[in-house]
């Protein structure tokens, strides 16, 4: 199973993840919200030419601000984001950089994804779940026994829905979908500590709301 290392980055300490598949040697990065020498050292240690993807759970600045730099350093890595959030990569009013007095270097998306899409990753498949609510194009990624939930599911709670393109109704539908996952996946959230689906079923009031 892939190994995961967390790098909290940026002013909001959003979680960036380095994911490495030991069997095949390939790697990926999830949500690089800032430039990080430590992250790049990790990528280089496992092989710069092995970085396959830069996966983005959504388009807010604290999850994408390091993408343009990372793409420049590792041009073969494919940038992946939900179809509905493609415009966030160049519009600071959508990615919230404007509201925090910041500007994200724009970048081009290589692979826009939607519900049910799958990407190859060594011996694994990256499965895409469409989970709008925090943003209109929010997605979660399942890789092996792990799920990367961005700001859709945060340990013990869920993300805000009052930002541009957010929707409380969509978020409830997305949380209901995650509540229906039967496997006890490890949950790698956009902020805060990791969790498991079993713990979320027990203690997350939003998940519990949609349990049978």
pLDDT tens track for 86-131: 999 999 999 999 888 888 999 999 999 999 999 999 989 999 999 9
Residue with tokens 């997305």: 174
The third-level CATH classification (topology) of the domain covering 3-209 is: Metallo-beta-lactamase; Chain A (3.60.15)
Three-state secondary structure call for residue 5: strand
Q: What is the DSSP letter of 110?
A: S
Report the distance separating Cα 122 and Cα 137, nearest Å: 26
pLDDT surpasses 90 at 1:
no
Asked whether 44 and 19 are in contact (CB, 8 A), the reply is: no
Residue 33 has pLDDT above 90, yes or no: yes
Q: Cα 18 to the chain's mean position, in Å?
A: 11
Write the pLDDT tens digit of every residue in 140-169: 999 999 999 999 999 999 999 999 999 999
Q: Which DSSP helix (H) or strand (E) runs through 82?
A: strand 78-82
| Tens-digit pLDDT profile for residues 49-81 | 999 999 999 999 999 999 999 999 999 999 999
Q: Which runs of consecutive H residues, i.e. helices, occur in the chain?
A: 37-46, 61-64, 67-73, 92-95, 168-179, 197-203, 205-209
Strand partners, 185: none
Per-residue model confidence as pLDDT tens digits over 162-198 = 999 999 999 999 999 999 999 999 999 999 999 999 9
Q: Report if pTM > 0.95.
A: yes
Spans of all domains in the chain: 3-209
Using an 8 Å Cβ cutoff, are 9 and 17 in contact? no
The terminus-to-terminus CA distance of the chain in angstroms comes to: 30
């Amino acid at each position: 199973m892939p190994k995961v290392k967390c790098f909290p980055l940026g002013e909001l300490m959003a979680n960036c993840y380095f994911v490495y598949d030991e069997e095949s040697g390939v790697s990926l990065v999830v949500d690089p919200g800032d430039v990080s020498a430590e992250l790049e050292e990790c990528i280089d240690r496992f092989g710069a030419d092995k970085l396959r993807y830069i996966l983005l759970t959504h388009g807010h600045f604290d999850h994408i601000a390091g993408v343009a730099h990372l793409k420049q350093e590792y041009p073969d890595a494919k940038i992946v984001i939900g179809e509905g959030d493609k415009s966030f990569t160049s519009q600071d009013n959508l990615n919230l950089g404007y509201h925090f007095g910041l500007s994200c270097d724009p970048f081009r998306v290589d692979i826009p994804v939607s519900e049910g899409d799958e990407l190859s990753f060594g011996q694994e498949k990256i499965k895409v779940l469409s989970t709008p609510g925090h943003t209109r194009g929010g997605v979660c990624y399942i890789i092996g026994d792990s799920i990367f939930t961005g700001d859709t599911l945060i340990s013990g709670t869920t993300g805000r829905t009052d930002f541009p393109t957010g929707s409380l109704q969509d978020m409830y539908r997305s949380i209901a979908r995650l509540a229906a996952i039967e496997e006890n996946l490890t949950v790698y959230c956009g902020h805060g500590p990791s969790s498991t689906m079993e713990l979320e079923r027990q203690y997350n009031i939003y998940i519990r709301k949609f349990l049978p």
